[in-house]
Amino acid sequence: MKAKNNCMFTLAIALAFAFVSCSETDEPGTEEPKTPTEEADETGSGEVDGYALVWQDLFNQSPLNQDNWKIEINGNGNGNAELQYYRAENISIGKEPDSQKSCLIITAKKENYEGRSFTSGRLNTDGKHKFTYGKIEASIKLPKTANGLWPAFWMLGADYATNGWPRCGEVDILEMGHTDGIKGNKTEKYFNGACHWGYYEGAGYPNYAKASMAPYSLQDGNFHLFTLIWDENAIKMYLDLDKNPDTAPYYEMDITDKSTDKSPGNYFHKDCFILFNLAVGGYFTGILNPAQITALPDEEAKMYVDFVKVYQKNK
């Protein structure tokens, strides 16, 4: 997604990142999976292949469990020229209207607040829950992102506060709303995973991002499962693994190489914490002018998270 670093990005760097972050596009999986037609229960992909559930939040009690989550409050653009102000008031627990599932709800609103034209929400488990390796997944109902919404499910290294970004490492399990999807009129299927790490050299830093075209809309009013499988050897990400257990990853990166300070293996073998947010505008979307945001025709849009789960294997 994007780290909370507010001063390290210049416009040139961020635009370069936006270009790099979706430089590869392909179809996830070797066979086209069936479009999900029924809402899944809260099992997720389950305790299979030696994985045991070690932590979860089902978001079934209001208010938000602050033993699990820290709500971020800022209007600084988060290093990405985002147009919203993140407020606690935009995060709630409630029913998703169609399924009646109890969910975490992040609401983006078109409203003036503290010099910003929009408000939204961002939260994380920093200082509360952190994990090294495992299967991390969330069931999410995404809003229509066209044009200008940027929902994300991601992780940052738990050493962010001391080592900063990108040295802490970042794993973006789900991002949508990229400018390339907007330009191609494919915003409901175009999504990506990414990793960022290392040190700045000149105008850049090591990263690997890969965009994919889902075989069906991910903004179809259904919940979709986004899964990260992370072990000593690789980072892999999967779409709707609960309904299509044989699907291939839409993102895969080897993390065994530790030969240089640019090698990913030096940054992804440590604790990370989880984040969710719904940004409005910014470099990723290619929209920096509030007047060009068209994704809030009804003055607001909502991102629903039914659950987040972490599984690990016994060592």
Asked if the structure places residue 186 within a domain, the reply is yes
* E strands in 35-121: 51-57, 70-71, 84-86, 91-95, 102-113, 116-120
Asked if the structure places residue 4 within a domain, the reply is no
One-letter identity of residue 175: E
Asked if the structure places residue 107 within a domain, the reply is yes
Q: What is the mean pLDDT of residues 72-84?
A: 97
* 103 within 8 A of 94, measured Cβ to Cβ: yes
Whats the size of the chain, residue-wise?
Answer: 315
Instruction: Measure the CA–CA gap between 255 and 264, rounded to whole angstroms.
Output: 5
- What phi, psi does 81 have (nearest 5°)? 60, 30
Q: 74 preceded by cis ω (within 30°)?
A: no
Asked if the structure places residue 122 within a domain, the reply is yes
Q: Which of 99, 104, 163, 171 is nearest to 131 (CA)?
A: 171
- Residues 150-159: tens digit of each pLDDT: 999 999 999 9
* 242 within 8 A of 228, measured Cβ to Cβ: no
Q: How many domains is the chain built from?
A: 1
Asked if the structure places residue 3 within a domain, the reply is no
The pLDDT mean for the chain works out to 90
Assess whether pLDDT exceeds 50 at residue 23.
no
* 103 within 8 A of 59, measured Cβ to Cβ: yes
Structure tokens at 119: 């408000």
Asked if the structure places residue 1 within a domain, the reply is no
One-letter identity of residue 113: Y
Q: What is the mean pLDDT of residues 4-27?
A: 41
Asked if the structure places residue 39 within a domain, the reply is no
Give the model's pLDDT for residue 314.
85
Instruction: Measure the CA–CA gap between 228 and 252, rounded to whole angstroms.
Output: 10
Structure tokens at 212: 């994919």
* 175 within 8 A of 233, measured Cβ to Cβ: no
Domain membership of residue 53 as a residue range: 11-34+45-313
Instruction: Measure the CA–CA gap between 101 and 31, rounded to whole angstroms.
Output: 30
Q: Please, what is the end-to-end C-alpha distance for the chain in angstroms?
A: 30
Q: Which of 267, 277, 272, 270 is nearest to 126 (CA)?
A: 272
Question: What CATH code is carried by the domain that includes residue 109?
Answer: 2.60.120.200
Percent of the chain at pLDDT > 90 equals 84
Banded pLDDT at 26 (limits 50, 70, 90): low
Asked if the structure places residue 2 within a domain, the reply is no
What is the sign of the dihedral through the CA atoms of 80, 8, 207 and 269? negative
Give the model's pLDDT for residue 274.
99
* 103 within 8 A of 91, measured Cβ to Cβ: no
Give the model's pLDDT for residue 228.
99
